[in-house]
């Protein structure tokens, strides 16, 4: 009986999304734009019956691989049509409550091995430090005059852009995103530079690995 009700509910969701999809498709003026909305719709259908992760980066990467719009195209001003369709799927196929309630901190608390848990906590600490460093860099770049003054006042003996990032810091950050090291702790590099466990759950969100790579590239010790 419950299976029958589930089929009826699923059929209702498909009909509601189909109405929205067809309405958005009607707005398309060219064959190319219609083809793009078709690809996004097909991609969302696949995600709905899989991980149900309708983030722009996931939908964009999958759709783009099929010849559809990229994540950037979906995010920009002209991508509203795609976002409306994606939102319809998100409302119809939300993540299970258990996954929505899960957070990186909660996941870390479940780690039983002291060594693994310790390394993950170190990575979490490095992420906080990295975010602080990025804030400093963004603030400097936001004002070119301040950036010139800062560079002018920097010690000529310093070879690093950020003197406070020591070689130990550098090695620690580099190790935090090393695929081989991550694998030993049951972790791996995920979609968009995230760090995830073997079940595909994000320990650190998208952009974590990319952000670390940018910092250690900018501030690489000269004796490396």
* String of DSSP letters for 158-191: --SSSTT--HHHHHHHHHHT-HHHHHHTTEEE-G
Angle between helices 167-176 and 114-142 in degrees, nearest 10: 110
The rounded Cα 13 to chain-centroid distance in angstroms is: 27
- 13 shares a domain with 31: yes
Please identify, among 96, 113, 143, the residue that sits at the C-terminal boundary of a domain: 96
The answer to whether residue 24 is domain-embedded is yes
The answer to whether residue 224 is domain-embedded is no
Q: Is a pLDDT exceeding 90 seen at residue 187?
A: no
- 201 shares a domain with 106: yes
- 108 shares a domain with 214: yes
- 186 shares a domain with 134: yes
Q: Is a pLDDT exceeding 90 seen at residue 74?
A: yes
Please identify, among 52, 71, 96, the residue that sits at the C-terminal boundary of a domain: 96
For residues 26-54, give the mean pLDDT: 90
- 125 shares a domain with 61: no
Q: Is a pLDDT exceeding 50 seen at residue 224?
A: no
Question: pLDDT digits over 110-156, tens only?
Answer: 676 666 667 777 777 777 777 777 776 666 556 555 545 555 554 44
- 146 shares a domain with 88: no
Which residues, including other chains, have CB under 8 Å from residue 52's CB and lie 6 or more apart? Answer: 93, 94, 95, 96
d(CA 125, CA 130) in angstroms, rounded, equals 9
The answer to whether residue 107 is domain-embedded is yes
Q: Is a pLDDT exceeding 60 seen at residue 166?
A: yes
Contact 185, 116 (CB under 8 A): yes
User: Domain total for the chain?
Assistant: 2
Decide which of 217 and 218 is more confident: 217
Nearest to 122 by CA among 203, 54, 45: 203
Q: What mean pLDDT is reported for the chain? A: 75
- 182 shares a domain with 124: yes
pLDDT for residue 31: 93
- 50 shares a domain with 19: yes
Please identify, among 42, 69, 96, the residue that sits at the C-terminal boundary of a domain: 96
- 106 shares a domain with 72: no
The answer to whether residue 223 is domain-embedded is no
Query: What range does the domain containing 135 cover?
Result: 102-218
Burial class (CB in 10 A: 0-12, 13-18, 19+), 96: exposed
pLDDT for residue 186: 83
Confidence of residue 34 (pLDDT cuts 50, 70, 90): very high
């Amino acid at each position: 009986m419950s299976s029958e009700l589930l089929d009826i509910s699923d059929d209702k969701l498909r009909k509601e999304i189909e109405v929205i999809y067809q309405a958005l498709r009607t707005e398309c003026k060219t064959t190319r734009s219609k083809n793009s909305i078709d690809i996004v719709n097909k991609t969302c259908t696949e995600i709905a019956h899989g991980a149900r992760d309708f983030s722009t980066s996931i939908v964009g990467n999958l759709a783009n691989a099929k010849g559809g719009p990229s994540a950037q195209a979906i995010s920009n001003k002209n991508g509203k049509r795609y976002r409306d369709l994606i939102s319809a799927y998100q409302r119809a196929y939300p993540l299970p409550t258990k996954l929505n309630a899960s957070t990186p901190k909660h996941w870390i608390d479940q780690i039983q091995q002291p060594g693994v848990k310790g390394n993950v906590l170190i990575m979490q600490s490095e992420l906080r430090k990295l975010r602080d460093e990025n804030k400093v860099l963004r603030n400097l770049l936001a004002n070119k005059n301040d950036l010139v003054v800062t560079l002018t006042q920097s010690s000529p003996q310093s070879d690093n852009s950020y003197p406070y990032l020591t070689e130990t810091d550098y090695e620690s950050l580099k190790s935090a995103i090393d695929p081989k090291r991550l694998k030993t702790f049951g972790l791996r590099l995920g979609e968009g530079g995230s760090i995830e466990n073997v079940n595909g759950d994000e320990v650190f969100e998208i952009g974590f690995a990319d952000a670390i790579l940018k910092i250690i590239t900018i501030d690489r010790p000269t004796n490396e």
